Amino acid sequence: MSVDQIIQVRDLTKIYKSKKRTGLFRSKKNEVHALKGISFNVDEGEIFGLLGPNGAGKTTLIKILTTLLLPSSGTARVNGFSLEDENGIKASIGAMLMGERGLYWKLTGRENLEYFGALYHVPKSIRKSRIQSLIDLLELEKIVDRTVETYSSGQKMKMVFARALINDAPILMLDEPTNTLDVKEARRLRNIVKNQNELGKTIIYCTHQMYEAEELCHRVGIIDQGQIIALDDPHDLKDSLEDNDILSVEGNIPEIARMAVESIPGVISASMLTKRVNNGSSEERPYLNIVCDNSRTKLPQIISVLSSNGTIIQNIDKKETTLEDVFINITGRSLMDDTRVESSN
Amino acid sequence: MSQLSLSLQGHLGVVWGTFIVRLKTISRYKGSLSMDIFMPIMFAAMPILLGQAMAGSISEASANFQANTGLTNASYIAYMIIGANVFSTVTASFWLFGFFIRREQILGTLESLFMTPASKTSILAGLAFYVEARSAFTFVLGYLLGCILFGINPLQGQVILALLILLIGLIPIHGLSFLMGALVLKVKQANSLMNSLQWGLGIIMGAFIPVTALPLFIQIVSFIFPGFYLNYGIQAALTGIEWFFGNMYLDLTVIFIFVLICPLVGYWVFSKAESRIKAAEGVGQF
């Protein structure tokens, strides 16, 4: 094994067996293939992003790497320990899963940190000073002596993040750590993640927010329907699309118009996607995402085809290439889509 | 990288940490502790008052009880009060790990716990110490209060010996609670199952009626359940009924054998169940 590769994953599969309800008392056996032969390495000291829509298999992968789940097949080594050596792995990682859950609500934040410090066998002599440094780092002073039940969602997330750091492990596994944080707090947390990486920690960062992966990660594995469909430096992933232009068309766009645009020579793809309205709400707006070889020369024809097919155009933008475009280019879907992994009977 | 010491001191830290966390949590649910004291009194009051109503007086009821159960020295009221208190502590201990697992699943803390290198045995030991302390506290207060309410002398018999039997006899029950932990991991509707089963426990441990007065198949189940010897031992120490094997040391030996066997069997079953659940959908799902 290479010393630099702190995590090695080989052909990991996970099949959930469940029952599919077909009536009041009837059910059929059902298999959900959550991971389909995933392989990758994580180098020591890197921030490795796992980017994918909800239901892609990110959390299943993290749960296997944290020994909470056993894979159906395949192997993995974390910090030199195989998945069978649970205690070696558990002592090597600090993890943040399940969002704001995972804290004792009737205890104060400080009591939670003290207890988890004990569970991680952090010696009592250094536990108090470490807790204080985490309180300072995450600016928890005002809330740390209140019971967790009185915290806001964002405060709970910060406390869960502090818990992940309590054992000062060499590897951090963070599953959607900025969910429920406001923009300012999310940015602060990402800065802390960067600092932790600069201090030498290897970080696996799961997200479905492409800008987080672009901002933080040295390498990104794009995961979809249980498979890693692309893996590279974020810039290189985007460079793979640089030869093409991406247009975003908003408005009332019939399906026939989308198909007509897709048939224009030089248009590589035209997909109806949704994006979140940029006003802080959860409202989503549909748009037509067009990938073409030269938008400058194609634009008049695209507008003409759209208009002649009943489209009322409200806005047209030429987009900067993002990791989401890489995802769209490969899958034809947006990262905002909830893509539960396929099941078979 | 931190230097994590998986030393004895570390394991003791987990035991102590778990004990303190439980104490702090219960201190924030004050009503719950009072209920632990009053519930056994209410459990005991039902058969005591019913027996009195049926027989016409307490002394008549007591005579009927002795005649029908063969426990010639038994104080009817003391038997019920002790039985109710032991039943209460045994059921709390028996479901200890099962309730713990389910509560942690609901809170979302179970996966956080399972991600730490803390051994399940250390966590259970911390929980068990907490339950022992809580049981001793509620047993003494519940028994005292029950005796005062029903007008009998609480200091009859060997009180210290009874307390010792309680604390030692709960150890195999804690061991068996691993089985309940396994059951909760496996069975989704564990709460209703637990509620139904706990009354069965009351019967097989002879909480309100000596098992010798029950059908043979129930007696056989009772004789392999350590809660039966725990209850019988405390009854013998406090009410003066004859020891089950005719000799205190023989009764205590049987309890000690359960102390050695039950935790091992319970832990083995739980580990198997945990592995199966990890291979399926994971420990956090219910």
pLDDT tens for each residue of B188-216:
777 777 777 888 888 898 888 888 888 89
What is the span of the domain harbouring residue B26?
Answer: 3-279
Strand order in the sheet with A93-96: A93-96, A171-175, A202-207, A47-51, A219-224, A227-232
CATH number at residue A263: 3.30.70.2190
Same domain, A49 and A75: yes
pLDDT score, position B206: 87
Tally of structural domains, chain A: 2
Neighbouring CB atoms inside 10 A of B141's CB total 18
A333 is a domain residue: no
Residues of B with CB below 8 A from A116's CB?
Answer: 112, 116
A327 is a domain residue: no
Taking the CA of residue A170 and the nearest CA in chain B, the distance in Å comes to 5
Same domain, A119 and A257: no
pLDDT at residue A284 is higher than 80: no
- CB contact (8 A) between residue A107 and residue B24: yes
B239 is a domain residue: yes
A338 is a domain residue: no
Same domain, A230 and A247: no
- Interface with B, mutate which of A14, A18, A64, A68 (most B CBs under 10 A): A68
Taking the C-alpha atoms of residue B121 and residue B124, their distance in angstroms, rounded to an integer, is 5
What tokens were used for A94?
A: 């600090």
The answer to ipTM > 0.85 is no
Residues of B with CB below 8 A from A93's CB?
Answer: 115
B254 is a domain residue: yes
A130 is a domain residue: yes
What is the span of the domain harbouring residue A70?
Answer: 5-234
Same domain, A213 and A106: yes
CATH number at residue A190: 3.40.50.300
What tokens were used for B137?
A: 């506290």
A343 is a domain residue: no
- CB contact (8 A) between residue B108 and residue A124: no
Same domain, A223 and A263: no
Residues 6+ apart with CB under 8 A from A340: A32, A55
For chain A, percent of residues with pLDDT exceeding 90: 48
A325 is a domain residue: no
B285 is a domain residue: no
B108 is a domain residue: yes
Q: What is the mean pLDDT of residues A126-133?
A: 94
Tokens 């502790």 belong to which residue?
A: B33
B216 is a domain residue: yes
Taking the C-alpha atoms of residue A41 and residue A50, their distance in angstroms, rounded to an integer, is 12
Highest mean pLDDT among A77-86, A272-281, B136-145 belongs to A77-86
Same domain, A271 and A203: no
A54 is a domain residue: yes
B286 is a domain residue: no
Residues 6+ apart with CB under 8 A from A345: A20, A28, A29, A30, A31
pLDDT score, position B16: 95
Amino acid at A61: L
What tokens were used for A18?
A: 């469940």
Same domain, A26 and A93: yes
C-alpha count within 13 angstroms, C-beta hemisphere, residue B139: 28
A340 is a domain residue: no
Same domain, A229 and A249: no
Neighbouring CB atoms inside 10 A of A167's CB total 25
Same domain, A248 and A229: no
For chain B, percent of residues with pLDDT exceeding 70: 96
Same domain, A203 and A301: no
A59, A206 contact by CB (below 8 A): yes
B127, B97 contact by CB (below 8 A): yes
Q: What is the mean pLDDT of residues B238-254?
A: 90
Give helix A255-262 / helix A295-308 axis angle, nearest 10°: 150
Amino acid at B39: M
- Interface with A, mutate which of B112, B121, B272, B275 (most A CBs under 10 A): B112
pTM comes to 0.80
Residues of B with CB below 8 A from A115's CB?
Answer: 17-18, 20-21
Tally of structural domains, chain B: 1
A178, A212 contact by CB (below 8 A): yes
CA closest to A115 among chain B residues = B17
Residues of A with CB below 8 A from B13's CB?
Answer: 118, 121, 124
